[in-house]
Amino acid sequence: MSDNDHELSLYVDGKNALVAGDPTAIAELFRKLDVKPEDRANLGSGVADLLAGLAGAVAMAMSANIPGNSFHMTPESYARFLELVGSTEEKLGIVSGVLRQSDGRIDTIIELVSSSPVNPAAAANVQLMAATLAIRVALKDLDTLVQAVDAKLDTIVRDNRDEALGNVQGTTHVLDKAFGYFEETARLNDALWDQVSGQAAALAQAHAVALNHLNTIADSLTVKNFGKRVNNAEASARGELKHWLVIAAVALTNMVRLDALEAVRSVQDGSDSPAHERHIAKARERRMTTTSTAIRNLSDAISKAVDVDSFTRITNPLEMPRLYTAAEEMQRLLQVFSSSFGMPEPASIERTQWHESVIRLGQKAGGVVVNSAAAVAEGVASVPKAIGETVEDTILHVAQGIEARRRSPGEIEKQEPQPEAPEDLAITQQQAGSAN
């Protein structure tokens, strides 16, 4: 390795990564990958020092206070990263790199290679990188969500709409302080851990309260009174829904930080890290399931709120546009939230114009009239048909009797004698008496 070579060390998890190393090499890496300033953030020196040593960067491992960054790659950036690594498959774990710029070379060349298996003694540090990146990604996603919904986070977390929320701002402050200390020292002391672990109940409560309010909003959209339904939808779209979505997002983000710091603590204590990881994964799955269910139920309620019959649309020409506008804004907020947390995005609202409702109602009314007329005509026609069938049966029966009596005596003799019915016998005797 020449004096012009600059080392890099990366921890990569999909499109998110941590990097530590020579500042020139980091800057060139960001240029090659086209990583925007808003997609990167400075890394604490303690974590950066650990990362530098993981990739076998000997020169960096001997120094201290190595610069580092966390960063997010777009799909295009990630494709370029895979080209540098020389792979078409997703990379996960430690990647080492070097920036080469020999004399006379116009452009720089970055060579990235996946590191050989990490030394078992340093495996715990890989878990620390994973915890750090998880927190960084969660914070970035929260920031993106807040900007997308045009909310002011500080204002919302200070809003004491529900006493059961507890001090969300205080919990956030404790986790901020603990994470900052960990990044700078690569450790989590006992005092900070005691403060962090005590926030679990408050976070669970804040999350539950936020979801309960989302369910309440869903219920308010199912009222039968159309005017009240419109007012409820507008109130939710103006700020109520945004407030509780952000509170839910803050709670979920803080839970990720708490989980990551718990993993850090287990590494420091030498505990059963795989067991902790399984516990953390199950807890996350449960809370994401309950959150996704609440979001889906609210989205369904919004869709049903605007799914009214044509008559209601026609008789409420001013209220329907208001309801559509409110419903569209609520679905937009849900889409932003779902996208931030990797949930299925709810469907968009499709408006039905007033004149379309008039046409549909006319078609429906015309269909009813035609069907009714056809039913009446069919009913009237069935009466003489039934009468005719009865008359035909009677005539056929009489004709058969006449035909039998017209048979010749020879034909009758040829037939086997049949016993006479009592009625026929009486008629025969009466005819004989008349002849005498």
Per-residue pLDDT of the chain (436 residues; tens, 9 = 90+): 444 457 888 888 889 999 998 888 899 899 999 999 999 999 999 999 888 888 655 455 556 678 999 999 999 999 988 888 877 666 667 777 776 655 544 455 666 766 555 555 567 788 889 889 999 999 888 888 888 888 777 777 777 676 656 678 888 889 999 999 999 998 898 999 998 988 988 899 999 999 999 999 999 999 999 999 999 999 999 999 999 999 999 999 999 999 999 888 888 887 766 777 888 889 999 999 999 999 999 999 999 999 888 888 888 888 999 999 999 999 999 999 999 898 888 877 766 554 454 444 445 444 444 454 344 444 444 444 443 444 444 434 444 554 555 555 554 444 444 544 444 444 444 444 544 4
Other residues' Cβ atoms within 10 Å of the Cβ of residue 322:
15
The whole-model pTM stands at 0.73
Please answer whether residues 313 and 352 qualify as being in contact, where contact means their C-beta atoms are separated by less than 8 angstroms: yes
Other residues' Cβ atoms within 10 Å of the Cβ of residue 332:
16
Give the integer Cα–Cα distance in Å for 436 and 25. 141
Give the integer Cα–Cα distance in Å for 398 and 391. 11
Please answer whether residues 308 and 351 qualify as being in contact, where contact means their C-beta atoms are separated by less than 8 angstroms: no
Edge-to-edge, what's the strand order for the sheet holding 109-114? 40-42, 68-72, 16-21, 6-13, 92-100, 109-114
Please list the helix, strand and coil fractions of the chain in percent, rounded to the nearest 5, in that order.
Answer: 70, 10, 20
